[in-house]
Structure 1
Amino acid sequence: MKPSTTPGASTTTRRPLTRRAFGAGLAGTAATAGLAACGGGDGGSGTAEGGSALRFTWWGSDARHEATERALDAFRAEHPDITVSGEFTEWSGYWDRLATTVAANDAPDVIQMDVLQLRSYGDRGALLDLADAGIDTSGIPSDTLSTGRTDDGLFAVPVGVNAHVIVANPALFEAAGVPLPDDTAWTWQEAADIALRISQSGQPGVHGWQTMGLDEASLQLWVSQLGGEFYGDGTEVTLDPAHVASWWEYNLGTIQSGAAAPATVAVERQAAGLSQSGTATNTAAMAVWWANQVTALSSAAGQEMVLLRPPLQEAGGAPGVFYKASMFWSISSRTESPEAAATLVDWLTNSPEAAEILLTERGIPSNPELREQIAPLLQPSDAQSVEYVESLEDVVVPAPPAAPPGASTVQDLVNRYGSEVLFGRQTPQAAAEAMVAELQSNVSSA
């Protein structure tokens, strides 16, 4: 692909996009071909009625879809010369569909992007460098904005930020006669001891802890606290098997002691999703989540939750928490309307009207000024998550670098090898070594 000469676009030369690069997505064509585009506009990119026509794709629930369409209606009213057609799916089909359209040179103009996929698309030239695209990023803190960068440029603008949190059910603590912990100083061992007391309190079906041994996001936190990382600057997997093994040993210990539910329950909950989790069903007093999930959890449980900082590896240890970009806005490098696409991304990023419509649907706004603006409009649980995230400003560490191509398989690997560990079919160390080796193989061959 030739360097872009479009006004507002980068002139950086990147490796050409090939069909092979996105071949994995072609396997999902049959499954996703029937997914229809939704939203206003007449579809397609280019010029329409003297203006521009954009396609905009995102994943999410019906609630996100409805909020996004309301935001797009407001954008269309403000920019009548830009037609926007929305395309949305659930997470499960989103990436297959996107890979197929990119490989066919038919990518949507504006793309909702995830950190695990950013380099897979950015490194292969599928995304526009946004550094000079005319998008105002001055309101986004530099550390947050850097999460959308790779060595080749700024390929994504962070929509919002998130952070690890322990969501605790105060009603289950009270029923067990156990006080909430001091979350500024507690350790993982103390958390396990507290969980065991709750499990032994006699509440039917209730355990103190929800096993996190199948969840890659929880492993991220654990590894960060130990001073490790998953990936280096290139395509090297730097994840230490010893860190993974210690994490599985902890989780296996909580199951064996009774502090957490049996492995069969953990696997069922992992497959069922948030609504069937121990937190949502009032059967786990504590669990690791992302801060912006508290509203959905509280609603499902019919119970107000308390947000606690994660435990430490040892007294006085490093908290290891970081601000994760909840998701990003990216623009296709093949868009025929780069200026219009940049106008839409800029509006979604900076418009007070957009912020008031979308609220925390895609995470806590990355622009602190917009957070302050929407604060009076938030539900108490959303306001609680914003307050929690902002309370971490003095302890957060830099976010991990974007995952290399091929690393999007990591959650599947954690789930598969974690199941082997929790059911006693592999030792934590053996499973950790095999998982890291397979992850490296996936990255190396991507």
Structure 2
Amino acid sequence: MEMRRKRSAILLFTSMALLIILAACSGGGGGGNDGTSGSSGDSKTTGNKEGNAAGSEPSKEAGAAKTLSMMWWGTDARHEATKKALDLYTQQHANVKFKPEFMAWDAYWQKLPTLAASKSITDVLQMDAAYIQEYVSRGQLEDLSDIDLSGIVDANVVENLKIGGKLYGIPLSQNAQGIAFNKPELEQYGISLPQKNWTYDEFFQWAKDARSKLPEGKYPIGDTTTWDGFNYYQTSMGKDPIMSDGGKKFTLDKELFMTFYKIYEDFRKTKVVPPAEKAAAFLENDPQADPMASGVVMTRGATTGSVSALEQLIPGKVGVVNMPTGPSGGGWAQSTIFLSVSANSKNKEEAKNFVQWFITDKEAGKALGLTRGIPINPEIYKELEPTLEQKDKLGKEIYDLSVEKALPFYAPAAGFSEWVDTYKKELEAVTFGQQSIEDAYNKIDKMGKELAAKAGA
């Protein structure tokens, strides 16, 4: 904020004017500010497409000095790239400096609960889709709905990211769940390639048709024993996700559950999917044991991030398509990694300006590269695209194919980690013929309801 100082012949008036100006400026979130004047409801943080607050040019004027604390997890490459971006921000905003803290994934999630308990989370923090709901429910994250993301993030993606109608994390990258397939092998055996927006009925029929054309020992699709595999199906049919409201609500639709897993039971009998013994030995991204890279299964699940590893194993052979859909859509396409602002920050408005700048400034985009995945901002992606390898472009393709029909990303609720493991164990018992589908349903439904009741209490 620029202010003009009027000259006066009287020194007393000059001194008083300076004092008034300094008092007015101190309300913007400098050291010792109580944060009330910087709350999200006071003003809309818009910014232009270059990431400068309120459409202004980068200011190098010395104002009230601020230090933003920031923490994130990741690799050394991410650490170095992020520090370069922070240096750029300080070059453009001379009154803002940073206190960065970075670590590996495990250390990060061990430290964050301690900071949350003492209400000393950093001004800006990296957040993951698996944990954001938990920290929102604790009242630890600031509402960022007033940050203008139009033209930067797809409106449907923004809507899917909201929790209780509010946005608590600015998405950093494009991520999506899709299906990878072995294009040359499918073509070799005269099998039609999967098509965008195929339905679950079409997916199951495609698998049966492909089985009839494949030789012994090769399978069109893999078996499924994880909770999210069924959750995709349940939500695509217009039902609630298995876990919602922070784990307080649990919905495992029995009719859909029985239908879905009876289809796979038939597929095991007709060799549409590999036998249980073979499926249990698969190890994704292992050159010999990956179901698709080994040439055993023609398709497998892949995300924007994980498909690059598969492409490196079988270069030039990977095609991608979105998840099967139902009446309500299917799969997900959104960022699963965010920048959030602490609800207890003394520098909320500057923190908001910074997180918007982080995804809009082109020089920052170049510095950050792909260290957090494919940039959420299409303009930044265009700048980077000429330098990208095919493995990175495949990730972008998954996102582009998925975003039209995408549903929100559903992470396991806090306290459900044991349930997730139990789900897989009980369904694996079904694949080995050790129990019925209904027995598995009864066990995991009972456990889920007990956890939901505990969360509600």
| TM bin (shorter chain) | 0.7 to 0.9
**Cα distance in 2 for residues equivalent to 1:7 and 1:84:** 23
Deviates more, 1:293-302 or 1:383-392: 383-392
**Cα distance in 1 for residues equivalent to 2:426 and 2:80:** 37
Equivalent residue for 1:377? 387
**Cα distance in 1 for residues equivalent to 2:266 and 2:76:** 38
Distance 1:184 1:120, change over 3 A: closer
| 1:228-256 Cα distance to aligned partner (Å, 9 max, x none) | 22145673223313323433333444344
Distance 1:155 1:249, change over 3 A: same
- Match for residue 405 of structure 2 among 381, 396, 401: 396
**Cα distance in 2 for residues equivalent to 1:268 and 1:96:** 32
**Cα distance in 2 for residues equivalent to 1:440 and 1:158:** 32
Equivalent residue for 1:137? 149
Task: Give how far 1:351 is off.
Answer: 1.8
Task: Give how far 1:396 is off.
Answer: 1.4
- Residue pairs, 1:23-42, within 5 angstroms: none
- Residue pairs, 1:9-24, within 5 angstroms: 9-10=39-40
- Match for residue 308 of structure 1 among 321, 331, 334: 321
Distance 1:126 1:168, change over 3 A: same
Corresponding letter in the other structure for 2:36:
T
- Residue pairs, 1:264-303, within 5 angstroms: 264-269=277-282, 272-275=283-286, 277-303=290-316
**Cα distance in 1 for residues equivalent to 2:36 and 2:293:** 49
**Cα distance in 2 for residues equivalent to 1:251 and 1:353:** 49
Equivalent residue for 1:111? 125
Distance 1:189 1:152, change over 3 A: closer
Task: Give how far 1:336 is off.
Answer: 4.2
Residue 306 of structure 2 aligns to a residue whose secondary structure is: helix
Distance 1:66 1:174, change over 3 A: farther
- Match for residue 179 of structure 2 among 166, 169, 172: 166
Provide the TM-score with structure 1 as the length reference: 0.74
- Match for residue 233 of structure 2 among 210, 222, 227: 222
Distance 1:131 1:189, change over 3 A: closer
Q: Please tell me whether residue 329 in structure 1 is matched to residue 339 in structure 2.
A: yes
Task: Give how far 1:281 is off.
Answer: 4.3
Residue 193 of structure 2 aligns to a residue whose secondary structure is: coil
**Cα distance in 2 for residues equivalent to 1:169 and 1:73:** 43
Q: Please tell me whether residue 426 in structure 1 is matched to residue 435 in structure 2.
A: yes
**Cα distance in 1 for residues equivalent to 2:319 and 2:178:** 10
Residue 208 of structure 1 aligns to a residue whose secondary structure is: coil
**Cα distance in 2 for residues equivalent to 1:177 and 1:368:** 36
| 1:86-135 Cα distance to aligned partner (Å, 9 max, x none) | 31323x55434422332344434322223332221101111122235xx4
Residue 135 of structure 2 aligns to a residue whose secondary structure is: helix
Residue 154 of structure 1 aligns to a residue whose secondary structure is: coil
- Contact map agreement 1:195 1:260 (CA 8 A) in 2: no
Distance 1:283 1:87, change over 3 A: farther
Residue 102 of structure 2 aligns to a residue whose secondary structure is: strand
Task: Give how far 1:334 is off.
Answer: 2.8
For the aligned residues, what is the CA RMSD? Answer: 3.6
Equivalent residue for 1:55? 70
Residue 223 of structure 1 aligns to a residue whose secondary structure is: helix
- Contact map agreement 2:86 2:98 (CA 8 A) in 1: no
Distance 1:71 1:239, change over 3 A: farther
**Cα distance in 1 for residues equivalent to 2:348 and 2:116:** 16
Equivalent residue for 2:225? 213
Corresponding letter in the other structure for 1:291:
T
Corresponding letter in the other structure for 2:273:
A
Residue 250 of structure 2 aligns to a residue whose secondary structure is: coil
Q: Please tell me whether residue 7 in structure 1 is matched to residue 7 in structure 2.
A: no
- Contact map agreement 1:6 1:338 (CA 8 A) in 2: no
**Cα distance in 2 for residues equivalent to 1:413 and 1:195:** 32
Residue 140 of structure 2 aligns to a residue whose secondary structure is: coil
Task: Give how far 1:306 is off.
Answer: 0.5
Q: Please tell me whether residue 320 in structure 1 is matched to residue 326 in structure 2.
A: no
Deviates more, 1:164-173 or 1:234-243: 234-243
Distance 1:291 1:414, change over 3 A: farther
| 1:210-236 Cα distance to aligned partner (Å, 9 max, x none) | 33322x443332123322221456732
| 1:305-333 Cα distance to aligned partner (Å, 9 max, x none) | 111233457xxx66524433332221222
- Contact map agreement 2:324 2:330 (CA 8 A) in 1: no
Distance 1:356 1:106, change over 3 A: same
Residue 102 of structure 1 aligns to a residue whose secondary structure is: helix
Residue 323 of structure 1 aligns to a residue whose secondary structure is: coil
- Residue pairs, 1:333-412, within 5 angstroms: 333-392=343-402, 395-399=404-408, 405-407=414-416, 411-412=420-421
Q: Which runs of 5+ in 2 are unaligned?
A: 1-33, 43-63
Q: Please tell me whether residue 188 in structure 1 is matched to residue 203 in structure 2.
A: yes
- Contact map agreement 1:407 1:442 (CA 8 A) in 2: yes
Equivalent residue for 2:97? 82
Equivalent residue for 2:138? 124
Deviates more, 1:119-128 or 1:298-307: 298-307
- Contact map agreement 2:191 2:210 (CA 8 A) in 1: no
Task: Give how far 1:345 is off.
Answer: 1.6
Corresponding letter in the other structure for 1:412:
D
Distance 1:425 1:107, change over 3 A: farther
Equivalent residue for 1:95? 109
Q: How many residues align?
A: 393
- Residue pairs, 1:139-154, within 5 angstroms: 139-151=152-164, 153-154=166-167
Corresponding letter in the other structure for 1:248:
Y
